[in-house]
Structure 1
Amino acid sequence: KTLQGIENGTRIATVDEIIELKKKIKVENIKKEKYSKYERFLAHQGDGDVTIASIIIILLAGSLLKKKKLIKICKNAIVSVIASGILVNLIKYIVSRLRPDVNMLPYQFFSWASWFNGNESINPFHSSSASFPSGHAIVSVAVASSFYFGYKKKMIRSFAFILAVILSGSRIYGTRHWLSDIISAGFLGVLVAKTIYEINKKKINL
């Protein structure tokens, strides 16, 4: 049976259709709840503090195993996360693009004039309200790039970037970012990590 015409009110649903609709809504709610748990988990992995904590754990493991190169790369990754955080927040404040879960218009920006006139509903100084570029994506890519530039092994490089893609992609699927937010953040993440790597390249390769 088709459910066409019920949603726009052109006809009344039958008892069977109402039962079917309820089942459909229940399934959609379960799927949404499951995804929201996964998305929240992935979002936390891309947080700056969680990322740095994870890198510190790897760094400590490297110290115990006396892996000098791993220690140096972890230090580079931490610096890249900090530099990325500063850069991304600066751009967020300047651009102030609305997130897709707030407004589905990709070119909608904060009204600075309205905020200055006392409209507290949108605060451009809260980076959590701004979409461009993605903080999670820039951090994830910066860390992945730090390991990519530091190691030549394909397995390590592939794992680092697969993880970065998963974390970044979850932000689009969760309607927290536009695709352009992720792409631009990825570019900036690589740029930051590459800059840090070039500065410390001789130390890493000793």
Structure 2
Amino acid sequence: MLAPSIYMYILFIFIIYYLIKEDYWKGSFSKLQIIIKKNSNLFLIALILTIFSISFLDLPISKYFSQQNSISFLKPFIKIINNFGDGSFIFPLFTTLLIVSLIIQQDKYKKILLISLSSSIYAGLFNLFLKIFFNRARPYIDLNPYKLFVYKNINIFRADYWSMPSGHTIVAFAAIIPLVIHFENKLLKSLLITISILEAFARVYLFKHWLSDVIMAAFLGTIIGIIAYQNNITSSTNKELIQ
């Protein structure tokens, strides 16, 4: 008998096939290029913030969390929040919600859930290439925030050197941003944004990432989430969130 995880992987493959077949990712890469060109100042600000964090904030913040048992009563809560950016949590969650939406015949929820799911998968795949490119040591491996591009010394496929950007953070933001844009309830929007920010904090708190890793990931996840929403919802209304 196959392990339950095998069935989940099979379902994952079928959903990716469906997303590709229905053009959920069509034009995403070209759209990203256009946004970068038209919003170069915005990307420059994000780059400056990331470099500033690497230079002045990464080391002291990581040292603080590594040397002190600070706010230890939050650890159980932080570990729960940390799961929100994990693909093994996001995928089953959205798959379950999709099945429920089909059962109760709520196509409006099916559409936005598929957009969020496709956004998170796209972000995860895009982030994988960035991790290999930057090849940055995680803080628990080396408390040197400048240890990037060290291909000759290590195996580039070793997760210990996949610090930049944060995969959990980029996936969480990419999944949540379409929901934030779509739903009008302010309380729900605030809750979703809070969850994504807390997830980013959890990665730093748990000593898995540098602050700059989550800054970059949050920015990229937000952009990918907006693109996913524009391509699949607002394209029909000509409403653009980022020009």
- State the TM-score, normalized to the length of structure 2: 0.63
Residues 177 and 225 in structure 2, CA contact (< 8 A), matched pair in contact too: yes
1:129 to 161, 174, 177: 161
Cα distance per residue 1:12-36 (max 9 Å; x no partner): xxxxxxxxxxxxxxxx999898766
Q: Which residue in 1 is equivalent to 2:218?
A: 186
The 1:196–1:33 alpha-carbon spacing in structure 2 relative to 1, beyond 3 Å, is same
Percent of pairs with identical residues = 26
CA contact (8 A) 1:85 1:139 kept: yes
Residues 166-191 of structure 1: CA distance to partner in whole angstroms, max 9, x if unpaired? 11110111111111111110111111
Moved more, 96-105 or 123-132: 123-132
1:156 to 170, 188, 203: 188
Question: Is residue 81 of structure 1 aligned with residue 127 of structure 2?
Answer: no
* 3-state SS of paired residue (1:142): helix
2:85 maps to which of 21, 46, 71: 46
Whether the 8 Å contact between 2:133 and 2:149 is mirrored in structure 1 is no
**Residue 86 of structure 1: CA displacement?**
0.8
| Cα distance, 1:95 vs structure 2 | 0.5
Runs of 4+, deviation exceeding 4 Å: 28-40, 202-205
Distance 1:70 1:113, change over 3 A: same
Contact 1:93 1:127 survives alignment (8 Å): no
- In the alignment, is the contact (CA less than 8 A) between 1:144 and 1:157 conserved in 2? no
Match for 2:135 among 88, 96, 100? 96
On the 8 A contact 1:150/1:204 being kept in 2, the answer is no
Q: Deviations over 1:97-154 (max 9, x none)?
A: 111111111111252223xxxxxxx321134531100000001111110101221221
User: In the TM superposition, what is the alpha-carbon distance from 1:63 to its structure 2 partner?
Assistant: 2.4
Q: Which residue of 1 aligns with 2:48?
A: none
> TM-score when scaled to structure 1?
0.73
Amino acid at match of 2:200: S
Supply the AA of the counterpart residue of 2:177. S
Q: How far apart are 1:41 and its partner, in Å? A: 3.6
Report what 1:147 is aligned to: 179
Q: Distance in 1 between matches of 2:120 and 2:94?
A: 10
Residue type of the alignment partner of 1:136: H
Of 140, 151, 158, the match for 1:112:
151
Please show how residues 12-91 of structure 1 align to structure 2 within 5 Å.
37-91=76-130
> 2:98·2:110 contact (CA, 8 Å) conserved in 1?
yes
For 1:159 and 1:41, locate their aligned partners in 2 and report how far apart those are by CA, in whole Å: 15
CA distance in 1, matches of 2:188, 2:207: 30
